[in-house]
Amino acid sequence: KWGLDTEWLGNTIIHKEQTTSTQHIAHQAAQNGAAHGTIIVADEQTQGKGRLQRPWHSAKNLGIWLSIIIRPSILPYLAPQLTLMTATVLADVLHNKGIEPKIKWPNDILINQSKVAGILTEMQAEQDQIQYIVIGIGMNVNHKQHDLPEDVNRKATSLTIETNKSWDINKLIQDILKQFEDTYADYIDNGFIDIKKNWENYGFRIGKPIYISTLKEKWAGKFLGIAEDGALLTTDKNGDTCKIYSADIDWLV
């Protein structure tokens, strides 16, 4: 069914018609020794998880609900680079289909300023060693407007809403996994440099003012780009350059 043209990614595919969250299944599988490159894919999730403990709406057969298990030999503090890498993978796939996506830091994929896809990375590490990383990819594909949850603050969209046609989910998964494998090889061989450049090409509001909300405070800064380690580079309240590792970004419309 899947028809992948990858070498290692997706050699094992765990497919569920319905599950709580492919992230749950991935953690279980990884703890039971699942190989680097194992994929978990679901037609429907009943407890899809987003970043920052948010729920992720994952209706049956309308989108891509997928988790990738990888076991890279990099230091744990570099794991955010892989999340940013995955964002460029999704952006490249959409770009190759004639869509103009943007990436909102750290890893929301936007089309016309609405969110079409998100990434949730979870890591299991001991001291300075990564046991495994689970990269969860959620993409709204064939949703019509009424299939999406009403959400005033966070505008969600789908490929169908943005392009007025329906998309082959299996084909998209093939393209994403192939692009992931190629980009990952570049990352392992050459490091983050190409990925950082590519991310910044897609970066939403680089050079412009953004609102940064951390757990402690909220301020307006200028979005300068991303750092080597994947942090957001912005200005603090005094106008000095600072690095942000976890925050919500907003902008004026």
Tell whether residue 165 is among the known ligand binding residues: no
Q: Is 66 in the site for ligand BTN (CB under 6 A)?
A: yes
**Cα–Cα dist 197/189, whole Å:** 16
Q: Is 179 in the site for ligand BTN (CB under 6 A)?
A: no
Tell whether residue 97 is among the known ligand binding residues: no
Q: Is 133 in the site for ligand BTN (CB under 6 A)?
A: no
**Cα–Cα dist 129/102, whole Å:** 32
Q: Is 16 in the site for ligand BTN (CB under 6 A)?
A: no
What number of chain residues touch ligand BTN (CB under 6 A)? 21
C-alpha count within 13 angstroms, C-beta hemisphere, residue 168: 8
List, as own/partner pairs, every contact residues 46-52 make where C-beta atoms lie below 8 angstroms and the sequence separation is at least 24, other chains included. 46/18, 46/19, 46/20, 47/20, 47/21, 48/21, 48/138, 49/21, 49/23, 49/120, 49/136, 50/118, 50/120, 50/138, 51/118, 51/120, 52/248
**Cα–Cα dist 85/148, whole Å:** 27
Question: 116, 139 in Cβ contact below 8 A?
Answer: yes
Q: Is 10 in the site for ligand BTN (CB under 6 A)?
A: no
Looking at the DSSP assignment, which residues form a beta bridge with residue 19?
Answer: 45
Looking at 132-140, 171-179, 219-227, 235-243, which segment touches ligand BTN (CB under 6 A)? 132-140
Looking at 59-67, 71-79, 145-153, 229-237, which segment touches ligand BTN (CB under 6 A)? 59-67
Exactly one of 10, 65, 80, 93 binds ligand BTN (CB under 6 A); that residue is: 65
Q: Is 237 in the site for ligand BTN (CB under 6 A)?
A: no
Exactly one of 9, 10, 67, 104 binds ligand BTN (CB under 6 A); that residue is: 67
Minimum CB distance to ligand BTN, residue 136 (Å): 3
Positions in the binding site for ligand BTN (CB under 6 A): 21-23, 45, 48-51, 54, 56, 58, 65-67, 108, 118-120, 136-138
